[in-house]
Amino acid sequence: MILTVTLNTALDLTYRVRSLRPHASHRVSEVAERPGGKGVNVARVLAALGHEVAVTGFAGGGTGREVRERLAGTAGMVDALVPVGGATRRTIAVVDERTGDTTQLNEPGPQVTSAEWAAFQRSYEDLLAAASAVALCGSLPPGVPVGAYAGLIRVARAAGVPVLLDTSGEPLRRGVAARPDVVKPNAEELAELTGSHEPLRAARDARRRGAHAVVASLGVDGLLAHTPEGRWRAAPPTRLHGNPTGAGDSAVAGLLSGLADGLPWPERLARAVALSAATVLAPTAGEFDRTAYEELLGRVAVTGEVTAA
């Protein structure tokens, strides 16, 4: 079982409008709702690939009930969310059908009490006993300590469970120092962490700060990996046009899936890039096009070298 942690779960709402204009009233042509938050998105892709996944984090209020009801209807996903008194946040994506651009509005999340945080930590330790890998993903809701991910990484390492961290800002900086097996920042997050805008140099510096391996998202240019086994770049075969919402989460799912299947790094990266690209091409934001994924998987260009450091 793969465990995904989404401390700031969400109910994702997607509105489609013909053309998004400031200071104007809009008629919405289509509305979609689904459970969200980065780790939930990762879990959805993993389940679609055939992995058993447990989803944990917090859920509360009417939106939390809606999230749990929708999770219950998803094959391969186990609801291990911890209840809180506050209401789970909503995220609102407005898709401009004319340009394809997406405008995102993210609520902050519920206030988590110290007792609720302690209950989550107990549940997390129990879930690790059956986990083959764990992903710690996304932002922290109010009330959760900024060093939360660092503590969760140490608990996973003590249990012998490999852990991937996908967050930003101070939670990323503190988390890296706890020595996660993989960190997956984008180029901007990596530059903020290290002060370097050259991705390879920044990835090397992030490893010096504690990360065992670094996989950086480079947008349309794919992924850069700096690991103890080698350094590689992986890129889609062509420039893609579509909606990038969820593409980074699909890349995380590909990395975890490859880890669970025991794939070497080049094959893990190819899977991650193919899933990310297939998400951009999917007609529904945040989903992936399986036909496109299978077609792209053999065409991802992976270049690099095996090293001893």
pLDDT digits (tens, 9 = 90+) for 169-179: 999 999 999 99
pLDDT confidence tier of residue 243, bands split at 50, 70 and 90:
confident
pLDDT at 221 over 80: yes
For all residues of the chain together, what is the average pLDDT? 93
Structure pTM? 0.93
Q: Give me the mean pLDDT over the 264-290 stretch.
A: 88
Among 19-28, 135-144, 233-242, the range of highest mean pLDDT: 135-144
155 or 280: which carries more pLDDT confidence? 155
Query: Percentage of residues in the chain with pLDDT exceeding 70?
Result: 98
Give residue 119's identity as a one-letter amino acid code.
A
The residues assigned a catalytic role are 249
Q: What is the pLDDT of residue 93?
A: 86
pLDDT tier, 285 (very low <50, low <70, confident <90, very high otherwise): low
Kindly state the average pLDDT of the residues 57-72: 95
- The answer to whether residue 43 scores a pLDDT higher than 90 is yes
Residues facing residue 125 across a β-bridge:
none
pLDDT for 70 equals 92
- Residue 309 predicted with pLDDT over 70: no
Q: Which of the pair, 280 or 100, is modelled with greater confidence? A: 280
Please give the Cα distance from 135 to 164 (Å, whole number): 5
Interatomic CA distance for residues 61 and 83, integer angstroms: 9
User: At which residue do the structure tokens 């899936």 appear?
Assistant: 257
**Cα–Cα distances in angstroms (integers) from residue 88 to residues 51, 62, 135, in the given order:** 26, 8, 20
Are residues 30 and 53 in contact, defined by beta-carbon separation less than 8 angstroms?
no
